[in-house]
Amino acid sequence: MSSKINDLSNSALRKRFFEVDFVPDNNLAIGSIRVSSKKQERGQSILEQKEINEKYGCREKLAYVKTWQVAESAANHELRKHFHEMIQFIKASQKTSTPVKHLVFSHQSRSNRNKQSARELEELVEMGVTLHFARDGRKLTCKSDVAELIMWHIENIKNQSMIDELTKNSMGGTIKCIERGCYPGSKPPFGYKSAGRKDRRHFLLDGDSAKYMSTAFEIIDTTYATERLSDQALKNKLDGMFPGLKTPHRKRFCELLRDPFYTGEEFIYFKTIYKADTSIQPTVVLRDRWLRVQMILNGRRRARKESVEVPYVGMLTCRGTILDESGVKTKEVCDCAVTGEQKTKTYKNGNIQIFTYYRCSNQSRQCSQREKIHMKTVGRKMNYNDYEIELMFQEIFKAFTFDEVTVQRMKSYLWAEHFTAKKTHNQRRTELEHRMRELDSFIQQAYQDKLKGLITESYWREQDSQWKLEQGNITAELDNLFDSQDEYMQRGVQLIELMQHSETIFKNATPEKKRKMVELVSSNLSLKDGKLSYDWRKPFDMLAVKGDLEEWRARQDSNLRPPH
């Protein structure tokens, strides 16, 4: 037999294609517990799954980093918020020194019941994570043979089929319920309560809750023209009329005002309106009144939409001084919004021109910014047009006018600060990784000592719990330290170069873009005597030199340059 020219007995190539034994990188694990209904939460499902996972973890010598409670249905992949958070946590840990390499379910039916979730779990397997199904006594790894993979897919198909069958059975009852004019939802809207079961199910008015909604429709219908209450003001008024009643939050309250359920004649299910059986769905508001309320709400919405045509309304606050009855200034600041309105002027030649004016909105008390004599003394009129407002906004961007020398010094300073912080992060990361290895050693040794009877089980559990809690804190801190800030710093340098030309960009922008630019770099804008005051948003407070370039020129120069 001829000798081997290349000996591949222990090569990576042979191990990759012929090595069947899978050895995980570590024993760090996540335990997943899933409940999909309130009934299961009240029962022993959580405790049962937790006990199964803990016993299995001890048998397999796994160290649980965290137990994830996935309290949601497994059928709809897009709505599995907790499941996605768990998957992202495990994926993110792969970039750290302590990657989670085990995911434990009590049994496979508690892992997923749809193809998309199954694919998410398969991606973890491809990254070297082992899936454990404790009660089933099975594992799935990247080295699993064809038989194990087939079993995995068969179980997933069975779970998917079970969900489909349950959905069909449920929808059959839902369709029958809708056909007889009964709302099929598990809980009726605020103001109603459900009574009876199955085919005898009906709704009753829920005392003060029903009166609350009835009063809301009445107030809008009868007094809106005179009071013109906002949504929050209306809700505050109702809450005062029904003290102690637990009411829906403002957004939900506005949605309820649109719900035809309260007429007793209709209900909405999956964005479709169906007729209701009036004998089982009592009336809170007559249909005529409900329709009038909808017209009022629609009209109010249109009025709000029209105000958008005034481009800078809602951006400024008046910082004028309140005057007393004699016209003398007090120490009180106005603090009302600066509002805007459009006025149309028709010339003799038939041309029409629209002007926009801005002024203090305070009409209840006399403000110095609405007093002609005061404004004349400071050389201003009470109103500001678009051009005058834009000139004041333009002053904001003059703060970013730097020469080329200052730009280069700013870049060098930012990179120097970045590398200093990065060095500190690396030192801290090394300390945390060293401590994590120590804790792994302590946990393993303590477990061996417990098995040998050198320490009591109660002492082992206490120490094991403390060490794992510390490991969890270290993992969280490592996640915060893990970043790719070189890329972010590169973007920051590009931002400096862009802001150098921001004044020119602002001049040539549309009113909508000008508004966005101002809101991007500043906040708390206020107006007094024709002068604009504001606060910088981060990181623009660092870039804004306000004409004092020596502040940046005085910083120590650095030869540090961004990495290539």
Nearest residue to 133 (alpha-carbon basis) of 19, 219, 31, 61: 31
- Above 90 in pLDDT, residue 189? yes
Choose one of 393, 419, 447: the last residue of a domain: 393
Question: 531 - beta bridge partners?
Answer: 528
In a domain, 186, yes or no: no
As a whole number, mean pLDDT of residues 48-74 equals: 82
Confidence of residue 356 (pLDDT cuts 50, 70, 90): confident
In a domain, 331, yes or no: yes
Confidence of residue 417 (pLDDT cuts 50, 70, 90): low
Decide which of 455 and 198 is more confident.
455
Q: What's the pLDDT tens digit per position in 467-491?
A: 988 888 888 777 666 554 555 556 5
Give me the pLDDT at residue 305, please: 41
Query: Which span out of 154-168, 225-239, 489-503 was modeled with the highest average pLDDT?
Result: 225-239
User: For the domain that residue 228 is a member of, what is the CATH number?
Assistant: 3.90.1750.20
Domains in the chain: how many in total?
Answer: 4
DSSP 537: P
Same-domain check for residues 433 and 493: yes
As a whole number, mean pLDDT of residues 333-338 equals: 90
Nearest residue to 431 (alpha-carbon basis) of 466, 467, 477, 483: 477
In a domain, 560, yes or no: no
In a domain, 534, yes or no: yes
In a domain, 533, yes or no: yes
Give me the pLDDT at residue 238, please: 92
Percent of the chain with pLDDT over 90: 20
CA distance 225 to 283: 25
304: Cβ–Cβ under 8 A, 6 or more apart, which residues?
Answer: none
In a domain, 175, yes or no: no
DSSP 257: T
Decide which of 226 and 488 is more confident.
226
Give me the pLDDT at residue 481, please: 62
Same-domain check for residues 139 and 261: no
Same-domain check for residues 277 and 321: no
As a whole number, mean pLDDT of residues 456-471 equals: 88
Same-domain check for residues 530 and 427: yes
The encoded tokens of residue 531 equal 């002068």
Query: Which span out of 43-47, 165-169, 319-323 was modeled with the highest average pLDDT?
Result: 319-323
Q: Which helix (H) or strand (E) holds 195?
A: strand 192-195
DSSP of 19-79: ------S--EEEEEEE--SHHHHHTTHHHHHHHHHHHHHHHHT-EEEEEEEE-S-SS-GGG
Same-domain check for residues 428 and 369: no
Backbone angles phi, psi at 385, to 5 degrees: -95, 175
The C-alpha torsion from 183 through 184 and 189 to 191, rounded to 10°, is: 60
* Domain enclosing residue 377, as ranges: 317-393
Same-domain check for residues 327 and 246: no
Same-domain check for residues 39 and 138: yes
Choose one of 164, 180, 203: the last residue of a domain: 164
Percent of the chain with pLDDT over 70: 78
In a domain, 337, yes or no: yes
Same-domain check for residues 410 and 386: no
User: For the domain that residue 50 is a member of, what is the CATH number?
Assistant: 3.40.50.1390
Confidence of residue 42 (pLDDT cuts 50, 70, 90): very low
Choose one of 252, 278, 307: the last residue of a domain: 307
CA distance 471 to 100: 12
Give me the pLDDT at residue 147, please: 62
Give me the pLDDT at residue 232, please: 87
CB 517 within 8 A of CB 501: no
Q: What's the pLDDT tens digit per position in 251-273?
A: 999 999 999 999 999 999 888 88
Q: Which residues of 436-467 are buried (b: 16+ CB within 10 A; e: fewer)?
A: beebbebbeebbeebeeeeeeeeebeebbeeb
- Above 90 in pLDDT, residue 156? no
Confidence of residue 5 (pLDDT cuts 50, 70, 90): confident
Decide which of 387 and 148 is more confident.
387
Nearest residue to 20 (alpha-carbon basis) of 117, 148, 133, 129: 148
Same-domain check for residues 389 and 431: no
Same-domain check for residues 67 and 198: no
As a whole number, mean pLDDT of residues 193-207 equals: 85
Confidence of residue 155 (pLDDT cuts 50, 70, 90): confident
Give me the pLDDT at residue 43, please: 39
Same-domain check for residues 419 and 505: yes
Same-domain check for residues 196 and 285: yes
